[in-house]
Amino acid sequence: MQNLRIPGPTPCPEEVLIAMGQQMINHRGPEMAAIMKEVAEKLKYFFQTKNDVLVLTGSGTGGLEAAAVNFLSPGETVLSVSIGVFGERFAKIASIFGAKIIALNFEHGKAADPALVKKALAEHPEIKAVLVTHNETSTGITNDLKSLASVVKGAGKLLMVDAISSLSSIDLPVDEWGCDVVVSGSQKGWMVPPGLAFISVSPDAWKAHAESKMPRFYWDLAKHKASIEKGQTPWTPCVSVIVALHKALIMMEKEGMQNIFKRHQKIADFTRKGVKELGLTLLAEEKYASNTVTAVLATEGLDPKKLLKVMREEYNTVLAGGQGPLEGKIFRIGHLGWVTENDIKVTLDNLKLALPKAGFRS
């Protein structure tokens, strides 16, 4: 079997794949309603929230668009706290739909500094909402969201979080930290294929929704809220991924949320240690290094594109390259969702053999 070590889509357990292959059911029938209601409850558990958690058929980027268009009006000011490609994408979407963006961009490979966020909020009292990435997939950095949230909520602003590649793998107590809108995506820590985005909405966010004037239809969360209470979605959903997610959530409950976080921590530590032992250098300062994806610098003559090719063709292992300004400068190892330490051990063993073939002089 291919060792798929990219930060999503992630490999799926056998039980999930069996669920994916189940025959279609009526998306407005009682079987689906029972599944949807359980899925919604279990999602709330993993979001650690009493807020509504809605299920959208779309990519994670669709979830970000839903976050952008449901709570803002054209002309309103938004602070974008960005540490990479996906932070910039979130801001771009809000901007296209008419928000004024104040961009607080940190260098790709660094975490956001809460003190600078505080400063920006003080300088711009007109800011209505703040966009923050919890885990930046393109750089393998996890922001100190607890501190960032404290600053944003201390200033009374709406906090919108891209947690696509963190939620369910890395601790994110949505209610405790006061996150108003939080987006995740099925193909990341949830152990199911892509096709769904999840979004939690706080009471304050619903108030903003009622006043928001950005145009929306497909992503209109009020429609999704009205439907999920009947165990439905307003439009025909990606039934198979919902059925698969139901299975995955049961497996995740059995493992235990804290155990899942610990497993990701342990495997990420193992990955970072192994990478360094190979003579490679991590992009991230270890304090902010992500527990779901590790970005490795292309040092000592390493050609990361060549490395990906060799790893795939000779070692049946799929790694990810760099994006945006980091293209050609890093490679990335995904370790989220259905992953064991052994998956990484095999990856590291193969990396050791592949590195010299890709120009690396250790």
Q: Taking the complex as a whole, how short is the minimal distance between the CB of residue 86 and a copy of itself, in angstroms? A: 11
CB of 118 to a copy of itself, least distance (A): 29
- 3-class DSSP assignment, residue 246: helix
Distances (CA, A) of 142 to 182, 249, 302, 355: 15, 24, 25, 27
- Count of residues interacting with a copy of itself (CB under 8 A): 53
29 contributes a contact to a copy of itself by CB under 8 A: yes
Q: Are 149 and 178 in contact (CB under 8 A)?
A: yes
CB of 64 to a copy of itself, least distance (A): 8
Q: Which is nearer to a copy of itself, 5 or 111 (CB)?
A: 5
> Can you tell me the distance from the alpha carbon of 289 to that of 282, in angstroms, rounded to the nearest whole number?
9
CA distances from 92 to 80, 85, 220 (A): 9, 10, 19
CB of 153 to a copy of itself, least distance (A): 27
The one among 12, 267, 344, 354 contacting a copy of itself by CB under 8 A: 12
Nearest approach, Cβ of 145 to a copy of itself (angstroms)?
A: 23
Scanning 33-41, 53-61, 224-232, 264-272 for contacts with a copy of itself by CB under 8 A, the matching segment is 53-61
Please give the residues from 99 up to 158 whose contact with a copy of itself meets the rule CB under 8 A: none
Determine which residue in the list 11, 87, 109, 140 makes contact with a copy of itself, applying CB under 8 A: 11
| 36 binds a copy of itself per the rule CB under 8 A | no
Site mask, a copy of itself, residues 217-236, x = CB under 8 A? xx---------------xxx
Minimum Å gap between C-beta 69 and a copy of itself is 8
Shortest gap between Cβ of 237 and a copy of itself (angstroms)?
A: 6
Residue 65 in contact with a copy of itself, rule: CB under 8 A? yes
Residue 228 CA to residue 115 CA, distance in Å, equals 39
Answer for which of 87, 114, 195, 304 binds a copy of itself (CB under 8 A) is 195
Q: Note whether 276 and 282 are within 8 A (CB).
A: yes
64 contacts 162 by C-beta, under 8 angstroms: yes
CB of 14 to a copy of itself, least distance (A): 9
Please list, in sequence order, all residues whose beta carbon lies within 8 angstroms of the beta carbon of residue 96, skipping any fewer than 6 positions away.
Answer: none
- Of 234-253, binders to a copy of itself (CB under 8 A) are 234-241
Q: Which is nearer to a copy of itself, 162 or 204 (CB)?
A: 162
Q: Are 13 and 191 in contact (CB under 8 A)?
A: yes
Report d(CA 90, CA 130) in Å as an integer: 11
C-beta pairs of 149-156 under 8 Å, 24+ apart in sequence: 149/177, 149/178, 149/179, 150/114, 150/177, 150/178, 151/114, 151/117, 151/118, 151/121, 152/117, 152/121, 153/177, 153/178, 154/118, 155/118, 155/121, 155/122, 155/127
Interface residue list for a copy of itself (CB under 8 A): 1-2, 4, 6, 8-12, 17-18, 20-27, 29, 57-62, 65, 92-93, 96-98, 185, 187, 193-195, 214-218, 234-241, 312, 318, 320
